[in-house]
Amino acid sequence: MDFISIIIVILGLAVLGALILFSMRFREILAAFGRIEIRKNSYEEKLDKKGNIDTRAAVTVSYDRKKLEENRENYNSLYSRYVVASQLISLFPLLGIFGTVYGLVTSDLADIESLVSGLSEALQTTFWGLVNAIVLKAVDAVLPGKLVNDIDAKFDTVDSAIERLSLENIMKEAK
C-alpha cells in the first residue's frame, strides 16, 4: 500500500471514530428528554351541556425550561462539530483522485515499469478513497444522521407543546 492510500485509510478511521463518538453523545442528548419532561396526571369531573357528568382523565406534560435549554445548547454545540466530520466524507473520493493524478504524474512515461507502478498506485488510492467514502456515508446515515433527525423531531414536539401551553395560559389569564 502506498503512502497516499495509508493516509486515506488513517483519515477514514479517524472520521469513523468521530462519527461513533458523535452517535454516543447524540444518544445522551436524546435520553435527556426523558429527564426534562414532568408528567402530571389529573382527573376532572364536569357537567356537559346536557347536564351529564363528563369524566376526563388527562396527562399534562410540562417541561423544565432550564434543562431543556441546556440540552439545546449541548445539541447545538455538538451538531456544529458533527457537521464538520460529516462534510469530511466528501473529501475521500477527491483524495482518491488526487492519488490517481499523483501516481500518474510521478511515473516516467518512457519507462513501462514506472508507468505500471504509477498506475497501480493510482488505482489503489482511488479504491481506498471510494471505499472510505461509501462506508463512512453509510455509517453517517445509520448512526448519527438518524439520531440528529430524532432529536430535531423531539425539539419540534417540545417547542410546540410549550407554545400550546403558553397560549393556554394566556387564554386563561385573559378570561
Encode pLDDT of 89-107 as tens digits. Answer: 999 999 999 998 888 888 8
Residue with cell 444522521: 145
Grid cell listed for 82: 458533527
Grid cell listed for 90: 466528501
The 10 Å Cβ neighbour count of residue 32 is 17
Q: What is the pLDDT of residue 160?
A: 81
Judged by DSSP in three states, 62 sits in: strand
Encode pLDDT of 29-40 as tens digits. Answer: 999 887 776 555
Q: Specify the amino acid at residue 104.
A: L
The 10 Å Cβ neighbour count of residue 22 is 23
| Predicted TM-score (pTM) of this structure | 0.76
Q: Specify the amino acid at residue 101.
A: V
CA distance 38 to 30: 16
Q: Where are the domains of the chain?
A: 3-36+64-174
* Residue 161 reports pLDDT greater than 80: no
